[in-house]
Structure 1
Amino acid sequence: MTATHTGPGHVSSAAPSPFPPIEEYAYLSDCHTGALVAPDGSVDWLCVPRFDSPSIFGSLLDRESGLFRFGPYGISHPTARHYVPGTNVLETAWRTKTGWLVVRDALVLGPAAPDDDVNPHTRPPVDTDATHVLVRTAEVVAGTVGLQLICEPVFDYGRVPAEWQLLDGDRHAADATGAGVTVRLATDLTMGIEGGRVRARHVLHTGERAFCALSWATGLITPADADQARAAIEQTCEFWRLWLAQARIPDHRWRDPLQRSALAIKGLTYAPTGATVAAATTSLPETPGGSRNWDYRYTWMRDATFTLRALHLLNLDEEAEEFMQFIADVQPTEDGSLQIMYGIDGRRDLPETTIDELSGYNGATPVRVGNAAYRQRQNDVFGAVLDSILLHTRRSQRLPRRLWPLVVSQAECAAKAWSEPDQGIWEARSEPQHYVSSKLMCWVAMDRAAKLAVLRGDGERAADWAQTADQIRADILANGVTADGVLRQHYGTDALDASTLLAAVFRFLPADDPRLKATVDAIAADLTENGFVLRYRTDQTDDGQTGREGTFLICSFWLVSALAVVGDLQRARDLMERLLRISSPLGLYAEEFDAHTGRHLGNFPQAFSHLALIGAAGTIILAERLGEL
């Protein structure tokens, strides 16, 4: 197969490939783990029992690393795919030469067990929780269809083939074991073991149904028949609909993308601790065929403020409270600061290794597990945490006692660190710099800490922290602004960086300040491809990596918010409409967008992109509503 090149050394993201386009995957979740389902009905990514566990289906990163297909024999392209409205349950319709088949897929949620032995909870018990079962049902609605089941797990990121054993000679249930993990496949089809895979095939007629289910639950419990499987999916639909009914979604033309973003974010939460994973995947490339491949199945502290803003905007206060408690639980470093990221169970060590046995998505290597950035110094973390605490305090009208020591420690750390260089918000693997956005977020830290101190009645600390905030602001405006009045990437360059749009998002400068307007205009004009925003120009920035990258969706949504803040509301609407039209066919977003081919790049689905969508939409909707007064 010959790759298509769009320039020297650049492989097109639209080159012919056996790997489905990233944006064509569907995402399933039970708030413990997530699965990606390809258009052909194959589960190409699933880690059990939780998001950051090794994969058992890994065809997303190597076509020989495990899959689980349930669909019509001989047909790979469905007629239609959609989420059951208001849910994270997938429904796929297939037209074959002889009939029509409808398949539903769900990671099932049901009545919570008294104790979850699979993924123990640190948060209070809930009424509905993951049952640790993937259920798939099929029904022929017209004619006859040959239904096929193929289940071929390859454990430990594609390194350990499954060993199968039928249960008591029953050809309707079998256990697969490898790398210390056992899963059970149950179905009403008659199965046969073929080496490391199980296969079944059966012709269904109009009105007939079939099911299959994969379990990693305690006792490997599965539905007993098609009726129980169907009931489990209906129960899951009910959970998602009842959850979404709690959200405050404005009656606006963007209601549907807001709902889908809310469901995506909820689907990226790890219910046992309240953490949110940045994405459900590892090593989906930011550069086609390149090495910008990272593991995003962890929780970044910088996501905190954007998560809280989005959840509170949508009235999802319970999720906000759970996330805040996760932040309160994590262990600080030796100097009292928080790491930039933690495991979803709160662990600090996330050592980065490579899985050299995997070919990588469309040849993009290395495949990474873990993320060495956890060791980096990134000074934006203080502002993210303290802004989130202020948001939550104002919403709940109280500052929990256990959060005040965190406020003090993070404010003190920010006061010491703000004048030092760091790796920046984009986690550059190069020499530290005096990044403007890092200092801006330190200003956020001191400004929010001062406001929290006022709320607590600590006037002395409030005055000291406000004074430090003023000092940081003066330093940025003295050293971080070009001769043209534009906020620069770092003190040693005039290069642009989309992270300076946070000056508008966090109200660092007044909306009518000419420096803010100049920064927004410069980024819109000179840091875009086809109107979509880049993080920075890779040829102007030493980030320790090679190759170009796509436009960053979060940065484009930040530009929407910034345009609205400086009063350019129509340009904000125009860009927002363009961004909504490049979502995946199922309304999801990866990390990046290739403006040349229309393909998505990077890990998927990406929480940051959906959080920024909610923030941008909220900014415009608020401005529109205020304009109606």
Structure 2
Amino acid sequence: MEPHNPTSPFPPIAEYAFLSDCHTGALVAPDGSVDWLCVPRFDSPSVFGSLLDREAGYFRFAPYGINVPTSRAYEPGTNVMVTTWHTPSGWVEVRDALTMAPRTGVDQVTPHTRPPADDDAEHLLVRTATCIDGSVRMELVCEPAFDYGRARVPWTLAETGAHVADVTHGDVSVRLSTDLALGAEGDAVRARHVLQAGETAYCALSWSASLDGPADAEDAAARVAATVRFWRRWLGRARMPDHRLRPFVERSALTIKGLTYMPTGATVAALTTGLPETPGGERNWDYRYTWVRDSTFTLQALHYLLLDWEADEFMQFVADVEPTEDGSLQIMYGIDGRRDLTETTRDDLSGYQGARPVRIGNGAFDQRQNDVFGAVLDSILLHTRRSERLPARLWPIVESQAACAAAVWREPDQGIWEARGKPQHYVSSKIMCWVAMDRAAQLAGIRGEPALQSRWGGIADEIKADILEHGVSDRGVLRQHYDTDALDASNLLAAHFGLLDATDERLHASVLAIADELSENGFVLRYRTDETDDGMSGKEGTFVICSFWLVSALMVVGEEQRALDLMERLLRIASPFGLYAEEYEVDAARHLGNFPQAFSHLALIEASARIVLAERRQEMSL
């Protein structure tokens, strides 16, 4: 559990609950306040932004004068939150959901470019309360601040009664409906009501085209119940091992699905922007976009879980995005496929616990990162093997990405971590260029192109030889880049993608060097900031994904007990809801960086799969 800082008005990152309708997501604080919600989609400006500035809007529905709940937990198998409150006079349960329902027509708010599913978002946040004992005075406060807190607009109460209020800013309109009597106070609407045992209340915020919400408390409860059924049915389609790791894999799967933008099939790297990697520092990025490098990890996780529909959706999104002028893919795109993610700062926001600047957009979108080709081609090979066919629309991408990798693999780049320092010959980038040519050669073989298979395979051999000549230190360990002996956790990808055989001593030595020398109390750093010119100041926490990568790599090289020990430590640092941010600060035992982080959960699924597979093999050999 992350320790609470009593001097900070900001809740610890790990204590936020994540809601999703696969179009946008919300973060709910322990006191019952929605502190983060962007509408109508993940990368829209926030309507509630108290996560980044305590004056940037919030929406609370909870007992009046009580800030600490008795328990908070997901309805099992869902992204629906249940909070139980004990007050001096009684007990109340609150359920929060971004609701899902059977699709009834064309979505006019966030139009689909992929075939729509049977169920879709209602563009509705529903909150219900049930008094389960005694009596409880409930409070509703809804105080939006549009455009990341910049615009405050007064509400308009409906003439037909004090149970509906509307507010509009620009092209965004929202409606609050409730069975409580509303009153306007400045830019907020408020309500208070005492619930007796057995009584219920609800409130709902809608940004749908019609702005319709629940008709009454019964309807509100039915919508939440339908959302519970949606998530459980979806999870029921996934392959989950009957294993002690199953609950963690299930939560990770629900999180990855919740970070998926259903209209296009894209997956955002995280729900948030601006959450600091360094407390109070400047490493505050916008992660509400799709990184192409995530594609291979996403495809592997989805296919392992037999979620082939979602895997195909994501693959089709990758196939649709527009390449750059030289035919390569950018390292990241908007969830609608847009290429321009120009970065700006919001200097009017205080930032989470004073971490500034808050960035909107991501300036790394036009960086050269040579690992992107390997991620794309590994994804296509995986998808091809699973679907048992190579779609015609993907072959031109194979040719273009192989050509790009062949042309640039000798050049320096910014590396997988998007360092804003001098370009270098990063070993992990070379590894991914090898992956690109190796997978392209295999795809050429599947397509029946022996000449291409031979040529691309030859380039793959050339890249591997170059890595082993220049990328290995005198002690036989993979180095961060060709001009240093510093370590880098991204070289664990050599085990992940099979650059070296599992019995190769160089791979074994590299994995153990990272475990022993690039870790803090067993958790893995990306690199040591005092050894790497990343263009930024300040120390950062250990990277959760790197620690899960190390679990997988230890399993590959036969260090199974060390892998299991690290896995247990990682599971113990999960948030109270089984979620992970990007980083973990060991000294303070707190989560850092954007939240929840898709990459962390993808790596958890892979590490779990390797452990389960190894144990099943041992069972078969008994």
TM-score range, shorter chain: over 0.9
Which residue of structure 2 lines up, in the alignment, with residue 116 of structure 1?
Answer: 107
Q: Report the alpha carbon displacement of residue 223 of structure 1 after superposing the two structures with TM.
A: 0.3
Q: Secondary structure at the match of 1:88?
A: coil
Q: CA deviation at 1:13?
A: 8.8
Give how far 1:614 is off: 0.2
Q: Deviations over 1:444-496 (max 9, x none)?
A: 00000000100010100000000000000000000000000000000010000
Do the aligned residues in 1 keep the contact of 2:4 with 2:11 (CA within 8 Å)? Answer: no
Tell me by how many angstroms 1:597 deviates.
Answer: 1.4
Match of 1:559 in 2: 550
> Residue 396 of structure 1 aligns with which residue?
387
8 Å contact 2:328–2:401 — kept in the other structure?
A: yes
Per-residue CA shift, 1:576-603, capped at 9, x if unaligned?
A: 0110110000000000001111100000
Q: Distance in 2 between matches of 1:14 and 1:45?
A: 20
Paired residue secondary structure (1:410): helix
Give the equivalent residue in structure 2 for 1:287: 278
Q: How does 1:531-570 map to 2 (within 5 A)?
A: 531-570=522-561
Provide the secondary structure at the position in 1 that maps to 2:22.
coil
**Structure 2 CA distance, aligned partners of 1:101 and 1:231?**
18
CA displacement 1:222-241 (0-9 Å, x = unmatched): 00110000000000000000
1:44-55 equivalences under 5 Å are 44-55=35-46
The CA deviation at 1:16 is 2.9
Question: Which secondary structure does the structure 1 equivalent of 2:168 belong to?
Answer: strand
- Alpha-carbon offset, residue 183 of structure 1: 0.4
Query: Which deviates more, 30-39 or 165-174?
Result: 165-174
The answer to whether the 8 Å contact 1:378/1:422 transfers is yes
- 1:310 is the counterpart of 2:288: no
Superimposed CA distance per residue, residues 6-27 of structure 1 (whole angstroms, 9 cap, x where no aligned partner): xxxxxx9957310000000000
Change (3 A) 1:13 1:174: closer
Q: CA RMSD in A?
A: 0.9
Partner of 1:243: 234
CA contact (8 A) 1:163 1:178 kept: no
Identity of aligned residues (%): 69
CA contact (8 A) 1:14 1:597 kept: no
Pick from 387, 399, 413: which aligns with 1:422? 413
Instruction: Give the superposition deviation at 1:50.
Output: 0.1
Structure 1 counterpart SS, 2:155: strand
Matched, 1:456 2:458: no
3-state DSSP of counterpart to 1:160:
coil
Which whole-Å CA distance do the structure 1 matches of 2:309 and 2:236 have between them? Answer: 13
User: Deviation digits for residues 255-311 of structure 1, max 9, x if unmatched?
Assistant: 100000000000000000000000000010000000000000000000000000000
Return the offset for 1:114: 1.7
| Paired position in structure 2 for 1:132 | 123
Equivalent residues of 1:268, 1:277 under 8 A apart: yes
Match of 1:204 in 2: 195
What pairs with 1:182-581 in structure 2 (closer than 5 Å)?
A: 182-581=173-572
Could you tell me which amino acid in structure 1 is paired with residue 394 of structure 2? L
For 2:516, the aligned partner's letter is A
CA distance in 2, matches of 1:143, 1:598: 38
Note if contact 1:13-1:594 (Cα within 8 Å) is conserved in structure 2: no
Contact 1:156 1:179 survives alignment (8 Å): no
Matched residue SS, 1:219: coil
> Which residue in the other structure is 1:9 paired with?
none
Partner in structure 2 of residue 601 of structure 1:
592
Letter in 2 for 1:343: G
- AA paired with 1:355? R
Unpaired segments of 5 or more residues in structure 1? 1-11
* CA distance in structure 2 between the partners assigned to 1:265 and 1:127 by the alignment: 19
Contact 1:152 1:162 in 2 (8 A): no
Q: Distance in 2 between matches of 1:151 and 1:113?
A: 29
Distance 1:179 1:566 in 2: 56
**1: CA distance between counterparts of 2:301 and 2:414?**
26
The one-letter amino acid paired with 1:394 is R
TM-superposed CA distance for 1:162, in Å, is: 2.2
Match of 2:605 in 1: 614
- Measured in 2, the distance between the counterparts of 1:96 and 1:14 equals 24
Verify the 8 A CA contact 1:293 1:367 in the aligned structure 2. yes
Q: Secondary structure at the match of 1:133?
A: strand
Aligned-partner SS, 1:220: coil
Query: Where does structure 2 lack aligned partners over 5 or more consecutive residues?
Result: none
Match of 2:573 among 555, 572, 582: 582
Match runs of 1:134-213 below 5 Å: 134-213=125-204
TM-score by length of 2: 0.99
For residues 7 and 235 of structure 2, the distance between their equivalents in structure 1, rounded to whole angstroms, comes to 39
- Deviation of 1:99 (Å): 0.4
Counterpart Cα distance in 2 of 1:125 and 1:599? 39
Aligned to 1:408, the other structure's residue is in SS state: helix
Q: How far does residue 167 in structure 1 lie from its aligned partner after superposition?
A: 1.1
Shift of 1:170: 1.5
Whether 1:16 and 2:7 are equivalent positions in the alignment is yes
**Aligned-residue offset at 1:48:** 0.2
Following TM superposition, by how much is the alpha carbon of 1:187 offset from its aligned partner in structure 2, in angstroms? 0.4
The residue aligned with 1:4 is none
Q: C-alpha distance in 1, partners of 2:119/2:81?
A: 20
Amino acid at match of 2:226: Q
TM-score, with length taken from structure 1: 0.98
Q: Deviations over 1:377-431 (max 9, x none)?
A: 0000000000011111101111111000000100000000100000000000111
Aligned equivalents of 1:163, 1:69: Cα separation in 2: 18
1:67 maps to what in 2? 58
Aligned length: 618
Q: Which amino acid aligns with 2:328?
A: S
Q: Deviations over 1:79-136 (max 9, x none)?
A: 0000001100000000000100100000000011321000000001211000000000
